[in-house]
Amino acid sequence: MNTMNCMKLISVNFCSRNLIGSVRGLHKGRSFVSSTMSSKHLISTRSFNSCRILSGVSGSDIQASFGNMEFEGNDVAAAMEALANADAVCFDVDSTVIQEEGIDVLAESLGKGEEVAAWTKKAMDGNTKFEDALAARLDIIKPSRASIEKCLEDHPLQLSPGIDGLIESLQDRGVDVYLISGGFRIMIEPLARTLCVGRTNIIANTIFFDESTPTGEYVGFCRDEPTSADMGKPKAVQQIKDQNGYETIVMVGDGATDAQAKPPADAFIGFGGVAVREAVREKACWFIRDFDTMTAVIEKFSKKNK
Question: What are the Cα distances from residue 261, in Å, to 160, 166, 192, 265?
Answer: 21, 21, 21, 6
For residue 208, list its beta bridge partners.
220
Q: Which of 227, 220, 170 is nearest to 203 (CA)?
A: 227
Active site residue 210: no
Active site residue 92: yes
Angle in degrees, CA 242, 183, 90, rounded to 5:
35
Report d(CA 295, CA 299) in Å as an integer: 6
Neighbours of 35 (CB within 10 A): 16
Report d(CA 80, CA 85) in Å as an integer: 9
DSSP label of 260: T
Name the catalytic one among 61, 75, 94, 125.
94
Report d(CA 213, CA 187) in Å as an integer: 20
- Residue 162: phi and psi, rounded to 5, are 90, -10
Name the catalytic one among 61, 75, 87, 92.
92
Note the helical H segments in the chain: 3-11, 17-27, 39-48, 59-64, 76-84, 102-109, 113-125, 130-141, 145-154, 163-172, 185-194, 232-244, 256-259, 278-283, 292-301
Active site residues: 92, 94
